[in-house]
Every structure is written in C-alpha cells, then in structure tokens.
C-alpha cells in the first residue's frame, strides 16, 4: 500500500507540475526543499529514502468519450488534420500525453520463518499513470 502511495504521489506531482518538473537525482528534502518531487513522495509515504521512484518516457493515447486507445507514436500528440497526417489521433478524438510512474521498495522482514523467503527481502513494486497534458 505504501509503495502504491509513492507511485500515485509521483504521478500526481508530475500531473500538477508538468513533465519537466521532476528529477529523481538526490533524495534530500532540505529546508528549503531542493527536490520537491522527492519531497512529495516522502511526504506521501513513511518509506523515506528507501523507496525508489522513476518516471518513464511520455507516450500518446487517443480519448473518445469513455474509450481510450494507447498509441505507438511519441509526443507531441496531435489530432489528425491537414498539418498532421500521421502519428496523430483521428478527428473527434482527444490526444493525451501520459507517463508511467514506477515505485519499488525492498521489504526485509525482521524475522524469517524457518528460513522461508528470500534472505535479501521481497521486492515490492507499484505503478501509476500521470496525465501530462
């Protein structure tokens, strides 16, 4: 649950602040904060610097009412017209730009039960999708 919260916090941060607003370099939350992406994730979970969050490359999709189609072309995402004739959404569909936010955390139990489970912990992962524009 905490790993999922980290992924959703990262997606929300990118959604609100834009695709060029995040950086995963440095895990400090100094005062004043120097990396607000990291600070947003730390404040959304109690995992602190032990959680790793990354943002994948942006990709395009086409939205029509409640139907959504993932496309194979890269941004910029446009509607097909006389200027954009390929790698675009058909007329009547709204182009959207998205990015996958991935979070991971290695959980190491305090006690092992009769030697069961990996000695180096369990890798927990979660994903969330950020709407960029």
| C-alpha span between 64 and 43 (Å, rounded) | 35
Residue-level pLDDT at 115: 62
Rounded to whole angstroms, how far apart are CA atoms 88 and 75? Answer: 9
Q: Which residue has the tokens 């999922």?
A: 4
User: Residue 38's pLDDT is what?
Assistant: 72
What are the tokens at 15?
Answer: 């959604």
Q: How far is CA 60 from the centre of its chain?
A: 15
| Ordered DSSP codes for 18-34 | -TTS---S-----SS-S
Q: What is the pLDDT along the chain (133 residues), one digit of tens a residue?
A: 888 888 888 888 888 876 666 655 554 565 555 567 777 777 778 877 778 888 888 889 999 988 889 888 888 899 999 999 889 999 899 999 888 888 888 887 776 666 666 667 788 899 988 888 7
Q: Where are the beta strands (DSSP E) in the chain?
A: 52-55, 59-64, 67-70, 94-107, 122-131
pLDDT score, position 32: 57
Amino acid 101: pLDDT:
87
The strand pair at 52-55 and 122-131 is best described as unpaired
């Amino acid at each position: 649950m905490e790993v999922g919260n980290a992924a959703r916090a990262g997606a929300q941060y990118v959604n609100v602040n834009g695709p060029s607003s995040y950086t995963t370099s440095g895990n400090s939350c100094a005062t004043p904060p120097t990396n607000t992406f990291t600070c947003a994730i730390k404040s959304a979970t109690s995992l602190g610097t032990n959680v790793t969050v990354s943002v994948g490359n942006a990709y395009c999709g086409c939205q029509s009412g409640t139907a959504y189609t993932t496309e194979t072309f890269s941004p910029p995402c446009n509607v097909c017209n006389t200027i954009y004739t390929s790698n675009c959404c058909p007329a009547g569909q709204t182009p959207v730009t998205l990015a996958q936010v991935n979070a991971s955390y290695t959980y190491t139990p305090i006690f092992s039960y009769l030697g069961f489970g990996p000695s180096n912990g369990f890798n927990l992962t979660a994903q969330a999708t950020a709407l960029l524009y």
